[in-house]
Amino acid sequence: MAATSVTTDMFAYEFMNNAFAAASIAAAVSGIVGYFLVMRGQTFAGHALSHIGFAGATGAGLIGLAPLWGLLGFTLVAGVVMGALSERISNRDIAIGIVLSLALGFGLLFLHYYTSFATQATALLFGNVLAVDVRTIATLAVLGLITLVALTIIMRPLIFVSLQPELAEAKGVPLRFVSIVFLAIVALAVSECAQIVGVLLVFTLMVGPPATAQRLTTGLWSGLFCSALVALGEAWLGLTLAFYTDWPVSFCIALLSGLAYFASLSTLARRPHAPVLDHRHG
């Protein structure tokens, strides 16, 4: 790892280049998808998806598949089910909390039966971006593209449904369909994000940056871009910080994510009537 480095140029190392590429893809996708997660007040549902993904990843290990596919499969199915049950479950803290801990418990059970896989547990829970290879980067890029294209297609009704569900229903927007597709998108984003920071820390890239962005700007487009930029900045700075301090990457990103959010809160407190930048719709 970084402590044994003989040169201080982090880009001299292939693993750092790979880490930057993977983190960039995951951060951009997380920041953008997370913006809508925060707007919809479904952050806890996103968190639950990542825990369900943990069960999927360890389960995949049991049957000899790559953890990413188990993670992806489980989160996708769970996302679709949550979306279909929509109002009844995806916004209910208790139901989500129980599903979340149940999933984590199953993850532990799968680990228990596949002991050689146990070394991977930390990587799954807290991420291991420094071990990412080129093939994983390619997979992340393809998944990221699918995620963003799907989001682009449903973005307009998604915003309408998120802000004004009753009115959207009256105007003929298929609420349940939008909800299902969105949580499937979140499932993809969670799978991406978990590759970088681990299932326990997906909030650092999926909730921290959009929450910070919402404090800094109130426009839709400016908020979206700001969220993606903050996520990218935190990922890059986090990797850099980890390289020079030898702290875990996920810790560094989590730290920056938290600091950015609290800093944005205090900015707002100091300027309660700050003029709002006018970023027009395109």
Partner 1 sequence: MTAVVELDHATIKLGGRSILADASLTIQAGEFIGVLGPNGAGKTTLMRVILGLLSPSAGSLRVFGRTPQRGNTDIGYLPQVRTVLPDLRVRGVDFIGSSLHGECWGLPSLSRHDRSMIEETLEAVGARELGHRPLSEMSGGERQRLLLAQAVLGQPKLLLLDEPLISLDARHQEIVIDLVHKVCRERGITVLFSAHELNQLLGTLDRVLYLGNGQAVLGTVEEVITAPVLSRLYGTDIQVLRAKGHIFVMSRGRDIEVTDHQHDHSHGGHERHH
d(CA 101, CA 92): 14
d(CA 216, CA 103): 35
**Interface region with partner 1, contact rule CB under 8 A, candidates 64-72, 129-137, 193-201, 216-224:** 216-224
281 lies in the binding site for partner 1 (CB under 8 A): yes
Residue with the two structure tokens 């996103």? 46
**Interface region with partner 1, contact rule CB under 8 A, candidates 63-71, 72-80, 105-113, 149-157:** 149-157
**Interface region with partner 1, contact rule CB under 8 A, candidates 65-73, 107-115, 128-136, 154-162:** 154-162
Residue with the two structure tokens 């900045």? 233
SS (H, E, C) 184-206: HHHHHHHHHHHHHHCHHHHHHHH
The closest alpha carbon to 227, from 7, 38, 2, belongs to 38
d(CA 117, CA 107): 12
Out of 101, 152, 245, 266, which residue is the one contacting partner 1 (CB under 8 A)?
A: 152
242 lies in the binding site for partner 1 (CB under 8 A): no
**Interface region with partner 1, contact rule CB under 8 A, candidates 4-12, 127-135, 161-169, 229-237:** 161-169
Is the Cβ–Cβ distance between 60 and 69 less than 8 Å? yes
* DSSP structure class, residue 275: P
CB of 280 to partner 1, least distance (A): 8
267 lies in the binding site for partner 1 (CB under 8 A): no
218 lies in the binding site for partner 1 (CB under 8 A): yes
d(CA 101, CA 81): 17
Per rule CB under 8 A, count of chain residues that contact partner 1: 34
Identify residues 32-61 at the interface with partner 1 (CB under 8 A): 38-41
Query: What residue ranges bind partner 1 (CB under 8 A)?
Result: 38-41, 152-157, 159-161, 163-173, 214-215, 218-220, 223, 276, 278, 281-282
